[in-house]
Structures are given as C-alpha cells and as structure tokens.
Amino acid sequence: MSTPITTAFDTYVSRYPLLANLTYKEAEKDETYKGLVDLKDSSWSPVPDGVETHAVAGLGPMQQRGETEAFAFDTPGPAGTKKSYYSNYALAVYFTENLIMDAQYGVIEKVVASLGKAYNLARNLQVAALYDDAFTGSLYTGPDGKALCATDHTSYMGGSARANELSSNAALSYTSVQDLVTLMRKQKDERGYANPAVNANDTIDVIIPADLEFDADSIFDKGSAYNPTGPNNDINVLHKYRWNLKVNNHFTSTTNWFLANPNEKGIRLVDKQPLVTDSFQDERQKGMQYDVRARWVIHPEMWEKIYGSFG
C-alpha cells in the first residue's frame, strides 16, 4: 500500500512532499479486522453494486447399484441467498492558508497520517460491531435471516435445525470451550449428514475481547499438559488442538467469545474501491483540502465456520 503519490497538495506544499505516503503508511497499522473476516476484491462477485451469493444444499451419499441397474439420481436444492450492497466511505480535512504557513511540530503530517488511521478504524469498528451483534442479528444476519450465531439455523433439505451457539450460553472456561468444540465437531450439513467445522488436531482461532485475555491465557496454556482448572493434575484435553488467540480491542462486549476456523470465517469483506488519497487547492480561500475515500461491503455469506457464546 505504501506507494509514492504526487498530488496537488504534495507539490503545492513543497515542505511536505510525502504526505500521501504518510496516509498510506498509517493505513497499514492496526489491521485487527483482517483476522476476523475473509478479504476479497470486487472480482469475487460479478454483481456491480454489491455481493450476492447463493448457497446450494449438496447431494446425499452414493447408492448401491447392481451391474445392470439404472443409476440413482439425486437433486441438489437451493439454500440461503444473501445480497449486500457496497457503501462509500470518506473523510476530509481542510488546512487554511495561515495554518499551512505557520504550522509547527509536525501538525500537518500528524493530521494527514490520521486520515490513514481513519480508514482502518472504520473497518475495525464495523467488523467488531458484527461480532458484538452476533447473537442478536440487529445489524447483520446470515443467508437464513438468523443472527450470525444462533441455535436454530435453517436447514433447507430436511435436516434438523442447526446451531453454532451453545444451547445454554456460558462464560469462557475450560469446560465451555470443550462444549463449543464438540458443537463444531458435530455440525451437520443441509441434509443432516456430518459436516464438522474442525477436525482433531486442527488450529482453532479464539476470538475474545481484552477483558478475557488472561482467562484465555490460563485455559489455552500451550505449555501445560494438565487441566488448568483441575486440582488433580488431570490431562489437559484441549492440548490436542492448536489455539490461536485473537484479542480484539474494538469489541464493546466484554463477555462474547468465539471459536472459528482460521482458514475461512464465512464473513467476506469485499473491496470495490481500495483506499484512495486526493487533495486540491481552494482557489478562493487559498487553503488546501486533503481527503481519503474507499468503497467496501461486509457480507456474512455463511455461519458454519464461526461458533460463539455470549457468556
């Protein structure tokens, strides 16, 4: 992202020729959201104004067939459909002529760099809001119209309702982690066949607010072979998995916690227009405007890779 940019602002204010670079450099910091979504560019979706995905319920098992018997046929069925629309994001600052002439202590550089920070701050806050909202669905819903985490996700081909939330929500603990992993392991597909979200010895992301950081450190102590909460040196049954702790300082919830497949979250952040910087001189007032803009969408395509509890 750090590409030299020459703009009217950079050439006009020769004292600060690399202000655009400062913006892009700052925009590379605090990319916490990247660990919570799947990043895509606009070529991922053929829809020009947003992202639309159509899920398909797959086929059942092969059927036994005699040598001269006809093949058994199966027909996949439609599952959830989801469309999300791109939104425009922008921010600008204005420097008066006097400020440009008199500025000291790197004020202009700091403000312009903050424009880059505003880019990732917007994305961090949006993604955090999605996880804060995961159990209510007031901001985001999945293809079945349910909250991201629910106990009654729709099955479209005759299978029973499916869950990615504990039936009785529990605080983050050694035993509740086991319960949630078991739910991940027992996940079914649209027809009721086994479709586990993780397998034994997999890596699992643990997504938590800062309030749960030290509880998580105790539970997922990678160096301990013993139950961190038990008095009898019982074996640590969580030790068979590899745990990747992701502390998110942008969560407003202090109790929500999640386990997720690290390879795919099922939540797409799709960029239509990556970060662009621009500037121009105000001919009337002789000041300068410096701005940033971008266009993206957050698209919850599937829920089967994220599991949670609101504690």
Cα 219 to Cα 281: distance, rounded to the nearest angstrom: 57
Domain 8-58+78-309 indexed as CATH 1.10.10: no
pLDDT tens for residues 275-288? 988 877 777 777 88
Q: What average pLDDT does this structure show over 119-139?
A: 96
The mean of the pLDDT values for the chain is 86
Specify the pTM. 0.85
Where in the chain are the domains? 8-58+78-309
Rounding to the nearest 10 degrees, give the CA dihedral for residues 63, 55, 134, 141: -140
